Structure 1
Amino acid sequence: MSQEKTDAAPAPAEAKTVAACVREMRRAAARGEPVDAEVIGAWGETFMTELYGKQKPVRFEVRPKGVINGWGNPLEGDVAHASRRRLDVRALYLHPPPTKPVKEHRWDDKNICRDCQEPMFLSGPDCVPPGKVINFRDRDAISLEWFRQPLEELIQLAKTARINRFDAAKLTNEANYLIERIDQHLKGKSNEPQ
């Protein structure tokens, strides 16, 4: 008997509107059978997108747990630490028509956007890829030529100062290495096409 009942009951179609969702929910309740978690997830997603769209809450209201009325404005940290402070929180939304995103997300098989690298459950309506990383060394706010003279004076100081020969050799080697690197960088920069 139960086998016939499950075969006869049509699988709920994926609802596109809130009204279709409610209709499917009522049919499922009338059948009195368990509903698949995927179907419930689709209903919840439909409710969120159709009722609230991709908007953020306009404001939050809080009240102590167990109180029937008396919603008020939250203090700093009340929303973030509501469970610790034993508060109920509600988000209030406006319902303007959903705006079309400036740039759509492109999801991969792991539900992560290919452009902005945001996971689906954290992403906003617009895909905002991270900006190009600026390499401040390319700006040449300083000239490497400025370091040549102090390095040459450091080599001269290492030869004439009263320091042990190991420290003098180390200072000379490091200063010569830096001068060579500066020369290579300046030579490479002069060979680049403008």
Structure 2
Amino acid sequence: KTGQIAQYMENEGCIIANDPNRDRANVLIANLNRMGVLIARVTTRDGAKFARFENAFDRVLLDAPCSSVGMIRKSWRFLREWREKAVIKYMNIQKRLILAGYKALKPGGTLVYSTCTIDPLENEEVVDYLLRKTDARLEPIKLPVKTSELVLEWEGKEYSPELKKALRIHPNDNDTEAFFIAKIVKPGDGNG
């Protein structure tokens, strides 16, 4: 994803790519070097620490750690190892990360939140949490893919109708893994 973003940016500007897992960060560095990406700096911090860079980033991609249930086509291990306790743990991490990413975003900037799970607690719940805690708003996403219906109520809790602008992609929709994507905008023009 970092390499593709650098390509869209025509290798101009600056990308901070963060992965708290050192092994994955080292693989990322090797891939970026192989691809000729010159504008990326790779860090290995807790993503929640980026909240201290308030209003600093034009765009944030939060490819959130998740239970990966949407990856069962790749490996049944994800389904066998599924535990509600883990989903709750990931949801709490995701809520910390989405608030930090939003705080680091400049007014007028865009945050994309994505996971590879189908669990509403890690998707709609997390984005709804951000919508309730901040002035964030969602923008519709137009992609040439089939999608599934979003979850606007889960276990008796109703989520914001704004979530209809997000995308929920199940494995059977496009013969892929599962994805959840929300495009979040911070109000303001970015000029102050």
Higher percent of residues as strand: 2
Q: What TM bracket, shorter-length normalisation?
A: under 0.3
Q: TM-score scaled by structure 2?
A: 0.18
Give the structure with higher Rg (CA): 1
Q: TM-score scaled by structure 1?
A: 0.18
